[in-house]
Amino acid sequence: MKNDNLVEQKIIETIEYNYMPYAMSVIISRAIPEIDGFKPSHRKLLYTMYKMGLLGGARTKSANVVGQTMKLNPHGDMAIYETLVRLTKGYEALLHPFVDSKGNFGKHYSRDMRFAAPRYTEVKLDRICEELFRDLDKNAVDMVDNYDGTMKEPVLLPTTFPNVLVNANQGIAVGMASNVCSFNLREVCEATIAFLRDENADMLQYLKAPDFSTGGQLVYNEREMREIYETGRGSFKLRAKYKYDKANSCIEVYEIPYTTTCEAIIDAISDLVKNGKIKDITDVRDETDLNGLKITIDIRKSADPDMLMSKLFKLTTLEDTFSCNFNFLIEGRPRVLGIKPLLREWTKFRINCIRRQTQYDIEKMSEKLHLLKGLQKILLDIDKAIRIIRGTERDELVVPNLMEGFGIDRVQAEFIAEIRLRNLNKEYILNRVNEIESLQKGIEDLKDLYGNEKRIKKVIIKQLEEIAKKYGTARKTEIIYHDEIEKIEPENLIEDYNLKLFLTEQNYLKKIPLVSLRSNPEQKLKDDDRIIQEIETRNKAELLLFSSKHTVYKLRIYEISDTKASSLGEYLVNVLGLEEDEKILYMVATEDYKGYMLFAFENGKVAKVELASYATKTNRKKLINAYCDMSPLVRIMYISEDVDLAAFSNINKVVVFNTSFIAPKTTRDTQGVQVLKSKNGSVMTAIKLLDETGIKDYDYYRVKNIPAVGYYLRDEDTEQQQLSII
């Protein structure tokens, strides 16, 4: 049924009409920081606190600030309060917090430590905010109406230092994002001064590396850092700081990367311990208190703390990556900038601020000069001014009469008319008039400053030197060089311990640590299943699994999950992707691929293949043609060195020989060497180690050369063999 209310629309036009305004609003008015280093929400909040008089004096309740900020930012009280929290000293997210706080504001490095409600906490602006609002009242930046047109707010704050680099900032817009790391204030000021003096200066000499409020260590790679400085994109690694308490056998982590939290680290370590990937940790807990962050990791006394931490750096966010994306709004357009282009834009912005406040000062001083020049004219005849005022009958005619009497304009006449009677004396008027010369010189100097960019840059440099001296602090994040860090091979990250592997007839594999096996040696199996092989090995060894399809599957033993004797183990059909009728017949664990594989076939041949033939440079999981498929297999066996074996045929013939008679091959699917000759169509039925046979006199069956027909099995050996089977 046709619906007449439906209207067809072109999808592209609809998106442009409905979606693009929203996307642009998020980019321009919400998520991306501007050249002053603030997003609109930050700027509105700080400006509100400035207008509330919180730059000095006592703190006020956060709820009061939140309520007042809603006049500029109508996004809800909790959104405003969360913005306030991030800017506070108590939250510890910024190198130089803008808000001096009292009360519980949570911590940047904690996911679960929540901030108190705004009715409990108190705030005021920190001293450094003087540099954000300096000369704001001198028209340094544009002012615009707020959302309902009831008050004005600044478009940008006239920051006297490159705040855009000093404090970390992150924003996610529509189709783009921004992620700015923080830098040390003193280094930023020094780098900016160097840039103002010489735009070709190498920023790496002054701005050594990012610096974060949470401290930690920065893994310095000059190539990576230079790429970030030049392009505004790139990444670097941060890692935690720790110390080892030998008396209590524990590691104390006291500084962590800026990008993670205590809870994330503790959860990751707990998972590693639960999954058996790390066995030297006995407990991990958060002991953060009023003295600061502390994660305590209890370890076994036999453990190497530095090696353990190297593993944790690799496996948890104790070492994390910070990805830089220096995306800023420059004159309303998002741009990704490196350090120099960013400082160039900030310098341009700051020069404009100084010119605007200089122009404001020129206008104010010119207005004052104009008034004083009018006052200078009545100095010639004060009595005349008094006579004009006294002789004027109507009040509204006083100013016109003064204008006519002294040849001055209305503004000057209004100023003279407002002078109090007690100040109409020669001394007062002379003192005021003497200011004319200094005002004229001041105006000339300001006009020269306004038009002289070099002088303006000197002013900026002087301000930066003062700020660096007044607010500069030592680095919190230590720089360590990547080539000085001990490289940890992947094998070193793997726990190594003794274990046993059990292979069952129905393709189940159990990996059980010996410690666990001693406490519960009884194996759980399916009712119709049985163990066909068990071997003792170590967790770092590799496992070769030979199947009935002439294929070998390779696994690293540490990739197999530990199990208990009470579980069935891993089902190899799923782990290896075996075919429906494929079975694993034999397994070999090796750490060095030394030794040989023996394959005995019904046709009487035995193949001796070097185990090294199954080693591969690439991490291949499956090798076909693992052994010859020309005759049914009788037995697979691994030997580390040559041994004596006994071969049995279906006509009770036996041959005892040494495997040294068989030349080793590197070809995996070699047919092997004839060991047992066929007689009247006989076939080989078994091949065993001598201690498996139950034979009393081995030498009776021993041959000097192969192939051989062998000797009939004696009656007494037949009985022994039957007993050994039973």
- Going from the C-alpha of 712 to that of each of 256, 510, 653, the distances in angstroms are 76, 41, 4
Opening angle at CA 84, ends 79 and 90, nearest 5: 135
Q: Which of 193, 198, 215 is nearest to 207 (CA)?
A: 193
> What residues have CB less than 8 Å from 394, skipping those under 6 apart?
none
Between CA 540 and CA 558 the distance in angstroms is 6
The residues that are catalytic are: 120
Q: Give the torsion through C-alpha atoms of 658, 663, 665, 670, to 10 deg.
A: -80
| Residue 310 main-chain phi, psi, to 5 deg | -60, -40
Nearest to 444 by CA among 361, 353, 352, 357: 361
Report which DSSP code applies to 708.
B
CA 60, 63, 67, 73 dihedral sign is: positive
Contact yes or no for 507/530 (Cβ under 8 A): no
Chain CA centroid to CA 702, Å:
69
DSSP state of 31: I
Which residue is it, tokens 């200066």? 201
Q: Cα–chain-centroid distance for residue 279?
A: 26
CA distance 595 to 592: 9
Cis? peptide before 400, omega within 30° of 0: no
Element (DSSP H or E) covering residue 636 = strand 633-639
Question: For residues 177 and 188, is the Cβ–Cβ distance under 8 A?
Answer: no
| DSSP 8-state class, residue 283 | E
CB proximity list for 538: less than 8 A, separation 6 or greater: 496, 497, 498, 499, 557, 589, 591
Interatomic CA distance for residues 146 and 72, integer angstroms: 6
Closest CA to 684 of 645, 650, 721: 650
182 Cβ neighbours under 8 A, 6+ residues apart: 94, 95, 165, 166, 167, 168, 210, 211, 212, 213
Question: What CA dihedral angle connects 356, 358, 360 and 362, to 10 degrees?
Answer: -140
Among candidate residues 92, 220, 240, the one with its CA nearest the CA of residue 167? 92
User: What is 89-121 written as a DSSP string?
Assistant: TTTT-SSS-SEEEES----TT-SS-PPPPTTT-
- Pairwise CA distance, residues 561 & 575, whole Å: 11
Residue 28 DSSP label: I
253, two tokens: 């982590």
Within 8 A by CB and 6+ apart from 179, the residues are 169, 170, 171, 322, 323, 324, 325, 327
Distance (Å, whole) CA 253 – CA 564: 33
Q: Which backbone phi and psi does 5 adopt, to 5 degrees?
A: -80, -15
User: Residue 12 is encoded by which pair of tokens?
Assistant: 């592209």
